Structure 1
Amino acid sequence: MTCEPEVLQAAEWDAWSAHILRSFGAEEPPEEREVMRDLSRWERGLVVRDGSEIVGTAASLPFRMTVPGGSPVRAAGVTSVSTAPTHRRRGVLRSLMRRQLDDLHEAGEEPLAVLTATEPAIYGRFGYGMASRKVDARLEAGGVRLQLPPSAEKVRLRLVDEPALVREECEEVYAACVPGRAGMLERLPGWENLALLDTAEQRHGATALACVLAESEGRTTGYARYGLKRGRDERGVHAGTVLVRDLMALDPGSAGALWQYLLDLDLMSTVHTGSLPVDDPLLEMADDLRRCSPVLRDDLFCRPVEVGRALASRAYAQGVDVVLEVEDAFCPWNSGRWRLSGDESGAACEPTRDAAELSLTVRELGAAYLGGTSLLSLERAGRVEEIRPGALRVASAAFRTEPAPWVPHRF
């Protein structure tokens, strides 16, 4: 076995998909399989074979991602990475990552690669840094009270039992939210269907997916998709759970009205949401954070494929002019000194022979790229070195962004 990745052929998709599911110990309902078949870009898929057997897979998707400053940047969404349990520690994963990044570099179209990790510890050695975090929250429906903005009183709520009927309204809200937060991905055609899948596995014992719309001044300003899971406590008292699939809102009033609706549903004692931004307004509206049980988790991992283009593609919170010494053992074309100069209006980043002022690896650069991880905190963890006194604090402040980065888009 040579571990040489090859491009996936269209006729191999079924075998490729079956290998991925087996590697993750998962099953794929027929309806989800059909959606994923339509969304897959097989020409961007890679396979490693041992004879005729597929033993490794990886793929990428051509997304456009919001970066600090609000502009969309082309980013390769890395997905479907798997290795057969019979072929661990034989270089399969490394060969796939090597070929994928080489292909992206050669194509020159996507200066960034991003992924969400099943096992976060794996990808640091390939230059991916944790660029955003998310919050998993379980709100006590009877214990949490929300301080709603006055505008929430003007919001009208409309319940829809069949979410597909309001697909367009929800997608318009999602699209309007994308430019406002770094890390958000524009929908590729057809991906709105994935958000509406409602298989037994996704329900976790809950009812069919429902949707409630927030409307204000004659237009849709938010939505929440959710299911209800009935239950009782040890006394026999109803204690069900609202499983929130996703919630998007264009303004604080709409967000507050939607969360209040979910907390007020009859016979439900808990509202569970698996992915919130770390600065979600819900956490500020709630009067008792302890009764929200927030848990911090990793979200998006980011890696510059082309350091110069990636850094020049975003804006910076304040003026910055700094020389970065970047180490990238896996993609050596990025290694060297780069002068980054920019502000809120844009930036430039070019190779330079000037003396380095900060030293870091591409992994730290990826972690800081979306503004959710500060260079200062990375320096305190021993992962960034300040060479010129004062350079770190200025650069760290310039890289930060608000609101916090977040990616609610599954891929």
Structure 2
Amino acid sequence: MTTDLRVLDPSDWDRWFGTLRNAFGGALGSSAEEREAWRSVTESERCIGAWDGDECVGTAGAFTFGLTVPGGAVVSAAGVTMVSVAATHRRRGILTSMMRRQLDDVRSWGQPVALLTASEPEIYGRFGYGVGTRQLSAEIDTSRVSVTVPADDGDHEEIRLRFVALDDARETIESVYARLVPGRPGMLERRPNWDRKVLIDPPEDREGASALSCVLARRGEGDDAEVVGYALYRIKPTWDAAGPSGTVVVDQVAGLDPVTYATLWRFLGEIDLTSSVSVSNLPVDDAFQFLVSDVRRSNIRLRDSLHVRLVEVGAALAARTYQAPVNVVLEVEDAFCPWNEGRWRLTGDEKGASCERTADAADLSLSVRELATMYLGDTSPAALARAGLVRELRPGALTEASVAFASPVAPWLPHGF
């Protein structure tokens, strides 16, 4: 029987989500709290299911986000999510048909960019997605590593740290997060209910660690005090023959200024009965690595994070700014979204940009996947050219584009979706 793709009816959500859970080995939505959090952020009209008769055999959805791009503008983006195919229906073209339908839909919604985090990165390149951001993780030996807090300028009130119940801190955390969004490419403007979704804390997912603790950083006293940062973390207690050797498992750290951020990191590294700090998602240029006394004992690693797809090449490239003046013709290959194929003239600088169709000779030749990899400034065209993925057709065009596409702040996805 052929499969039928259709928009998700909210009444079918349980069966649809059940297919997704099975595909991920039952690890997703394992608690009622987590399941309801997923339901609360699901945009049914932007989700599709593949049905074999009455059986749901494939799922795919999209969240509505605003994506910060270089220059600080926020671009409407589709956060592709909850993609799965039942094990009984693999290799029948279901995933490809869902990706085809979804990108057509994203284009019709007027969103120039699609985003996803990949459980298996090799899957999505054939659909035009490229790695747009990376994330840094670290295992810091705090028995031997200390954190230096930079000197304040003397005009600020002392920073005070206080524990706050998670439910009482949600709005404050979201407010601090929203202030940080414009300052770093890759960050997401969130819709309602995401403040709860990103703070979900089911006991079965803690892997032996404590419940999530929240510390707020404030400047000032009383009613005039301003929250300028926060830290969310767990404690995973362990003991050996020498005594306590627990781990501080960091979920989020945010500070509106360097002193606040460093103060929070020093706090995390000095919690009693612990000897290490573990963190899995930081920007690749995160300040902590310049504040620690021994970066080698911080055991830093990198991996891919946000995968980006330019759905409308012209609109996407015109939405960001460029660090230096650029005027290049890009010859773009895009077999999956053929409306993007052909030559585009990109002109722009730090004030704005345009990207229009042209018949002029090409300066650079590349696929839409490489263009997506360059888009947020994480990877330069020159780096991709050294891998043979970008071809320079006009001498000097590669350097011009590489300088222009760079971002002074590394792009970063703060959380999955």
- Tell me the TM-score range normalised by the shorter chain: over 0.9
Quote the residue 2:310 is aligned against.
304
Pairing 1:14–2:21 present: no
Alignment of 1:362-401 (within 5 A): 362-401=368-407
Aligned twin of 2:263: 257
Q: Distance in 2 between matches of 1:408 and 1:399?
A: 22
Q: 1:100 maps to what in 2?
A: 102
Deviation (angstroms), 1:52:
1.4
How many residue pairs are counted as aligned between the two chains? 409
Name the counterpart of 2:237.
230
Partner in structure 2 of residue 167 of structure 1: 170
Distance in 2 between the 1:279 and 1:310 partners?
25
Task: Tell me which amino acid in the other structure corresponds to 1:92.
Answer: I
Q: Please tell me whether the aligned partners of residues 162 and 209 of structure 1 are also in contact (alpha carbons under 8 angstroms).
A: no
1:326-405 maps to which residues of 2 (within 5 A)? 326-405=332-411
Match of 2:203 in 1: 200
Shift of 1:263: 0.4
Residue 72 in 1 paired to residue 74 in 2? Answer: yes
Q: Which amino acid aligns with 1:384?
A: V
CA distance in 1, matches of 2:401, 2:391: 12
Q: Are the equivalent residues in 2 in contact too, given 1:3–1:91 (CA < 8 A)? A: no
Percent identity, aligned pairs only, is 50
SS in 2 for 1:353: coil
Q: CA deviation at 1:145?
A: 1.6
In structure 2, the partner of 1:212 is 215
Amino acid at match of 1:263: G
In the TM superposition, what whole-angstrom CA distance separates every residue of 1:282-336 from its partner, at most 9, and x where no partner exists?
0111121111111101110101000000000000001000000000000000000
Instruction: Find the residue that maps to 2:209 and give its secondary structure.
Output: coil
- Indicate the larger mover: 148-157 or 204-213: 148-157
The counterpart of 1:187, out of the listed 183, 190, 204, is 190
CA apart distance, 1:267 = 0.6
Alpha-carbon offset, residue 77 of structure 1: 0.3
Cα 1:246–1:203 change in 2 (3 A) is same
Q: Is 2:325–2:349's contact at 8 Å kept on the other side of the alignment?
A: yes
Q: Counterpart of 1:73 in structure 2: which amino acid? A: V
Q: Tell me, in whole angstroms, the C-alpha distance in 2 between the residues paired with 1:216 and 1:280.
A: 23
Q: Deviations over 1:335-381 (max 9, x none)?
A: 00000000000100000000000000000000000001111100001
Partner Cα distance (1:165, 1:147) in 2: 30
How far has the Cα of 1:204 moved from its partner? 1.8
Tell whether the 8 Å contact from 1:152 to 1:252 is kept in structure 2 after alignment: no
> Partners of 1:72 and 1:365 in 2: how far apart?
19
Which blocks of at least 5 consecutive residues in structure 2 are unaligned?
none
Give the letter aligned to residue 119 of structure 1.
Answer: E
- Residue 61 of structure 2 is matched in structure 1 by 59
Higher mean C-alpha deviation, range 165-174 or range 327-336: 165-174
CA deviations on 1:65-121 (whole Å, 9 max, x unpaired) are: 1000001000000000001111111101100000000111223x2000011111111
What 5-or-longer segments of structure 1 have no aligned partner?
Answer: none
Name the structure 2 match of 1:138. Answer: 139
Structure 1 residue 4: deviation in Å? 4.2
Matched, 1:91 2:93: yes
Q: After TM superposition, give the deviation of residue 383 of structure 1 in Å.
A: 0.6
Helix, strand or coil at the partner of 2:409: coil
Partner Cα separation in structure 1 for residue 252 and residue 356 of structure 2: 40
CA contact (8 A) 1:129 1:303 kept: yes
Amino acid at match of 1:393: T
Distance 1:138 1:157 in 2: 26
Question: 1:176 corresponds to which residue?
Answer: 179
Give the aligned CA root-mean-square deviation in angstroms: 1.3
| TM-score for both structures, normalised by structure 2 | 0.96
Q: Distance in 2 between matches of 1:360 and 1:4?
A: 35
Superimposed CA distance per residue, residues 172-217 of structure 1 (whole angstroms, 9 cap, x where no aligned partner): 1100000000000012111001122111233221111111111124
8 A contact 1:152–1:257 mirrored in 2:
no
State TM-score, norm by structure 1.
0.97
Counterparts of 2:153 and 2:117 in 1: how far apart (Å)?
34
* CA distance, structure 2, for counterparts of residue 5 and residue 297 of structure 1: 33
For residues 276 and 205 of structure 1, what CA distance do their matches in structure 2 show? 23
Map Cα deviations across residues 370-401 of structure 1 (whole Å, 9 max, x no partner). Answer: 00111110000111000001000100110010
Matched with 2:117 is: 116
